[in-house]
Structure 1
Amino acid sequence: MADGGASLSTAGHGGVDRFSALHDDLLRHIITLLPIRLASLDRALPGWPQLLAVKRTERLTLRDRFNRSESSSVRLLPAGILRCDSLQLLNLDYWTFPSGAEVLLPHLQALALTRIVISDRDLECLIAACPVLKSLALFVNSSKHVRLRSKSLIGCTLVGPSRVEEFTVTMVDTPLLERFHLFRPLNGVEIRITRAPNLRVLGYLDTRVHKLQTGNSVITSDTMVRASTVVPSVNILGLTVNFGVFAEVKMLVSFLRYFTDVVTLHIESALHDPSVTADERSGENHAKFWQETRPVCCLRSHVKKMVIHNFRGDQNEFEFLKFVAMNAQELQSLLVVSQEGIVSSADKVTEIKDELQCLQFPTGISAVLPKASNLTIDDPFQC
């Protein structure tokens, strides 16, 4: 439901409330799907949030499209929405969360919050008040510290605010959490894994802007791996790295050492970030580093499928693949994916294929293909 479009005035009907007499299914469609000016809805049907509860509404999308300029205030979400105990799916977009409001959402299974002004504490309380919540999506909200504490949560998608200097997400107690997706690189993001024993899919971790803490250990490029801090449950991992930046290459190796049982590995070869200074970005060949790096457990013993996204044929990309060829004993499939437009020359594609063949992988190379993505299948990073 969104501002703009239709009016629900009762003019012409003597001010009589004819909405309550409608069949429940029809009323749900009118309230949930039609674009409405909220002010007119308030005039035509005072107490409409309570009516949603009375009519046992199960799915609700509530978007406020009015005054979306930077200077405009964000309308306060009607608190009654949070007490509609029949809701199973709730999508909220561009609202101010009523701080301290009572939340009663015992049947809610899917929650999406987009551009919501909400405090860290209110967000934590909201999640806790949804005892059967399975899917959580958070897009560019105002909270700076997301604490996930849920006995039912299975999947979480996060696009954090891009303007904050520090942003933290902590998996405090999520025994059933299987998937955690991060989209769009963010500055100063820290991911803390305290208790997520069933975390199976994680990505994309960005080697430049993401910090990772497992248990009490903060992972750096020089951190020594301890058995108590590895995350063996993850078997599908996505990482982003600029192979031309030495610090990112070292962090890539550190990340890989902590995810010991990865079976499917996706690596996005990042384009040059204009914010990276000349001193930070190194165009030198990193062959010596890869030659001196000791074997990585997951690459040596577990990875069966690897996908390199946005491959451009740079020498440092090939140096990494040489390391993989020498160490990935269980590798069965390597798919090198060039983003459409990056490798547009047929001669360049042929050159890349020839150089890949020279690496002498025991199982060969699958293909060099355009990039695509389908998040509906089991592997959310699959081409």
Structure 2
Amino acid sequence: MSGGAAVLLPRLRELVLSRSVIQEGELERVVAGNPRLRTVVLVMNCGVPERVRLRSGSLWCVVFWQSVVEELAVVSAPLLERIILQTSALPCGIGREGSRMRIKITAASALRALGYLNPNHHQLQIGDTVIKVGKQVVPDAVVPSVKVLALSVQFGVRSEASRAVFRFLECFPNIETLHVLVVEWRCTYNGGNTDTIGTLDVECVKESITKVVIHGFRWENCEIEFLKAILEGGKVLQKIYIIQAKNISVSEGDINGSMSLLASQSKGVALMILAGQNGIWTYEMASDLSRNDPFDFLG
């Protein structure tokens, strides 16, 4: 594509760009200039465009599927319901070493589902506020419309990234379903080189989260500590789904012991163990607006 004119496709409802080369301004004009466009999907796009700016009165869903950019900015998208990020690092050499993809949410009053946010790889900005560890979240730096949040977390490492999870949770006070994808990391919980979670004194944990789904569970002590913190802090929590990682080397006795420990603190919360999934989540499922929860591949 080239030139400054908008590409007008009056019947266009879904745009999927796979391994494409499109410049920032060209994509912005396509998104803004097509009044029926509801879904934009970038599949295996690597650094081009460098920035994606969303201005659209019709867009409902944007998906980054194994795609990375320097910045995603939701400038004006009053109907946008979901932002799906199925990616991790910045593998294409874009940006400086160690940089993170910036997620800027300025105007998205209908945003309902967001994730997987990874504090190692994403920098979150709400309005004019960059969310940082050690910096209190201001009242304006929240997105109250989000009901489903998905996080990708590396437990058991004493790092800024792991503590950033709490800052992320503070930005979404009305979450009802929390998905947590465990990033593999062998940890030894000895109080010295891992994070002690404690009680999650966060508004959404205490007042709104009813369902937690933890994906890729390996029965590490640091993961169990996280679930204990959720159970201790959650006042309205109803269900926890534990989806085990495939090929885990944990004895049935150890699993039963951990479940007994969690059950003793569950206060009536249903705890369910499920076998590991086989990678059935696809961008078609994630962008299917008939699915209430884009991260739910339990059924």
Counterpart secondary structure, 2:227? helix
Q: Is the 8 A contact 2:200 2:233 kept in 1?
A: no
What is the Cα deviation at residue 98 of structure 1?
3.8
Counterpart secondary structure, 1:234? coil
1:310 lines up with 2:216 in the alignment: yes
1:128 lines up with 2:28 in the alignment: no
1:352 lines up with 2:264 in the alignment: no
The residue aligned with 1:190 is 102
1:336 lines up with 2:246 in the alignment: no
The residue aligned with 2:153 is 241
Q: Is the 8 A contact 2:37 2:58 kept in 1?
A: yes
Counterpart secondary structure, 1:335? strand
What is the Cα deviation at residue 196 of structure 1?
0.3
Partner AA of 1:336 in structure 2: I
Identity of aligned residues (%): 33
Summarize the alignment of residues 112-151 of structure 1 with structure 2, pairs less than 5 Å apart: 112-141=16-45, 142-151=48-57
| Partners of 1:315 and 1:115 in 2: CA distance | 40
Q: Is the 8 A contact 2:209 2:237 kept in 1?
A: yes
Larger radius of gyration: 1
The residue aligned with 1:381 is 295
What is the Cα deviation at residue 223 of structure 1?
2.0
Q: Is the 8 A contact 1:235 1:262 kept in 2?
A: yes
TM normalised by structure 1 equals 0.67
Counterpart secondary structure, 1:295? coil
What is the Cα deviation at residue 311 of structure 1?
1.0
The residue aligned with 2:179 is 266
The residue aligned with 1:362 is 267
Question: Taking CA–CA contacts closer than 8 Å with sequence separation of 6 or more, which of the two structures ends up with the larger relative contact order?
Answer: 2
What is the Cα deviation at residue 345 of structure 1?
4.2
- Root mean square deviation, CA, Å: 2.3
Q: Specify which of 97, 104, 112 is matched with residue 8 of structure 2.
A: 104
| Partners of 2:58 and 2:294 in 1: CA distance | 21
Q: Is the 8 A contact 1:305 1:331 kept in 2?
A: yes
What is the Cα deviation at residue 346 of structure 1?
3.3
Unmatched tracts of structure 1, length 5 or more: 1-96, 274-280
Counterpart secondary structure, 1:250? helix
Query: Larger % of helix: which?
Result: 1
Q: Is the 8 A contact 1:137 1:157 kept in 2?
A: yes
The residue aligned with 2:97 is none
Q: 1:215 to 1:258 in 2, by over 3 A?
A: same
Partner AA of 1:264 in structure 2: T
Partner AA of 2:84 in structure 1: H
| Partners of 2:118 and 2:294 in 1: CA distance | 17
TM normalised by structure 2 equals 0.84
The more displaced of 181-190 and 369-378 is 369-378
Q: Specify which of 75, 78, 83 is matched with residue 180 of structure 1.
A: 83
Q: 1:287 to 1:115 in 2, by over 3 A?
A: closer
What is the Cα deviation at residue 343 of structure 1?
4.9
| Partners of 1:214 and 1:178 in 2: CA distance | 16
Instruction: Show CA shifts across 1:146-203 (max 9, x none).
Output: 00111000111113645xxx61000110000001100021332110001000000001
What is the Cα deviation at residue 327 of structure 1?
0.9
| Partners of 1:160 and 1:120 in 2: CA distance | 18
Counterpart secondary structure, 1:366? strand
Partner AA of 2:104 in structure 1: R
Partner AA of 2:233 in structure 1: N
Partner AA of 2:32 in structure 1: A
The residue aligned with 1:276 is none
Q: Is the 8 A contact 1:160 1:186 kept in 2?
A: no
| Partners of 1:233 and 1:102 in 2: CA distance | 31
| Partners of 1:343 and 1:177 in 2: CA distance | 42
The residue aligned with 1:252 is 165
Q: 1:185 to 1:234 in 2, by over 3 A?
A: same
1:208 lines up with 2:120 in the alignment: yes
Q: 1:133 to 1:119 in 2, by over 3 A?
A: same
Q: Specify which of 121, 133, 140 is matched with residue 228 of structure 1.
A: 140
Q: 1:203 to 1:228 in 2, by over 3 A?
A: same
